[in-house]
Structure 1
Amino acid sequence: MEAFLISTSVVALAEMGDKTQLLALVLAARFRKPWPIVFGILVATLVNHALAGALGAWVTSHLGESTMRWILGLSFIAMAGWMLIPDKLDDEEELDKHSRWGVFGTTLVVFFLAEMGDKTQIVTVMLAAKYSAYLWVVAGTTLGMMLANAPVVWLGDKLVKRVPIRAVHVISALIFLVLGLLALFLPGTGVLA
């Protein structure tokens, strides 16, 4: 359950102001059909995070515990720094290229591609490497993505304008920093043990 709760909360925070959240806003404004967009986001996220989680689980099985602890600790600290760098949406031409596939197909493809190498995908790899509960991590990271993106699809920029994105990024960065330090210096705490 810890893997699920941490995965959900970390990804929901990390996703605030992320390029995929901006993409959800663009899709909602362009198509004005929230259900196929939300379903496309869900399917794209499930596939993307299942692959990322599988990679994380595979990495864990091939590295020693001490090496993995250092990789995870330093990765979480690096993620803290990355959270402070604002994202921008540069996928407009991807959106135009795939719009002939309908709302669901366009959302599925562009969201999946936008998630490749994104913060939340890398976090999913790291969390799956940390926890032996692969399915709980994928379920948690997917729920976190949906908690951050589905409201944007329905409420659009009304919601985005009210949320202090910079504050959310700072809080996310602090959480990643704490997780990294715990992994490095207190490996037996249970939080990242």
Structure 2
Amino acid sequence: MEAFLVSTGVVALGEMGDKTQLLAMLLAAKFRKPVPIILGILVATLANHAMAGAVGDWVARALGPDVLRWVIGVSFLAMAGWMLIPDKVDEGDANAVSRFGVFGTTVIAFFLAEMGDKTQIATVGLAARYSDFVAVVAGTTLGMMLANVPAVFMGGKIAAKVSMTLVHAIAAAIFAVLGVLTLLNVGKLF
């Protein structure tokens, strides 16, 4: 349960103000069809985070526990720093070829936008940290949906009222705490 809850919380916070959340707002403004956009986000996130979780699971098995602890700890600290850097949506992501329809365009745009994104890298680290692939992928996917579904429905209204700097600072603090705890070998999994 810890893997699921931590994965959900970290990704939901980390996704606030992220380029994929901005992409959700742009797609909602362009197509004005929330259901296929939300389903597209779900499918793209499941596919992307399942691959990232598999990589994290493989890394956990390939490295010994001591090396893994240091790699994950330093990675979480790096993620803490990265969370403090604001994202901007790439225009190419929002202008994906619409011949695929709203759903297809959303799946393609979100899948590509998530490649190498903070939340994908976080999923790799979380899957390596917690040896529960399903809980991590389910948690990171839920975190993405918690951040992006309101963005589809409320778009710019949310961004205007929530301090993205504060949200990113909280996410960075969580990653920093996870990194330090991992390096100090605190926790039942190491």
Q: So what's the TM-score if we normalise by structure 1?
A: 0.96
Q: Kindly indicate whether the alpha-carbon contact (under 8 Å) linking 2:26 and 2:94 is maintained by their aligned counterparts in 1.
A: no
Q: Distance in 2 between matches of 1:95 and 1:155?
A: 17
The 5-angstrom pairing of residues 55-70 of structure 1 reads: 55-70=55-70
- Residue aligning to 1:38: 38
Aligned position for 1:13:
13
- Give, as a single letter, the amino acid of the residue that structure 1 aligns with 2:162: V
Give the match's secondary structure for 2:107: helix
Deviation of residue 122 (structure 1)?
0.3
- Is the CA contact (8 Å cut-off) linking 1:28 and 1:156 kept in structure 2? yes
Runs of 4+ off more than 6 Å: none
Q: Distance in 2 between matches of 1:94 and 1:23?
A: 7
Matches within 5 A, 1:94-173: 94-173=93-172
Q: Measure the CA separation in 2 of the matches of 1:170 and 1:155.
A: 23
RMSD (Å), alpha carbons? 1.0
Deviates more, 1:132-141 or 1:93-102: 93-102
Cα distance in 2 for partners of 1:178, 1:165 equals 20
TM-superposed CA distance for 1:188, in Å, is 3.6
TM-score by length of 2: 0.97
Distance 1:157 1:128, change over 3 A: same
Q: Which amino acid aligns with 1:122?
A: I
CA deviation after TM superposition for structure 1 residue 189, in Å: 2.8
Report how far residue 14 of structure 1 moved: 0.4
Indicate the percent of aligned positions where both proteins have the same amino acid: 65
Check whether the contact 2:14–2:83 (CA below 8 A) recurs between aligned residues. yes
How many residues are matched?
190
CA distance in 1, matches of 2:173, 2:94: 33
Alpha-carbon distance between aligned partners in 1 of 2:93 and 2:161, rounded to the nearest angstrom: 28
Distance across 2 between alignment mates of 1:39 and 1:68: 35
* Structure 1 alignment gaps of length 5 or more: none
Q: Partners in 2 of 1:168 and 1:112 — Cα distance?
A: 24
- Deviation readout 1:9-65 (Å, 9 max, x if unpaired): 000000000000000010000000000000000000000000000000011111000
**C-alpha separation in 2, matches of 1:146 and 1:48:** 13
Q: Conserved in 1, the CA contact under 8 Å of 2:96 and 2:109? A: no
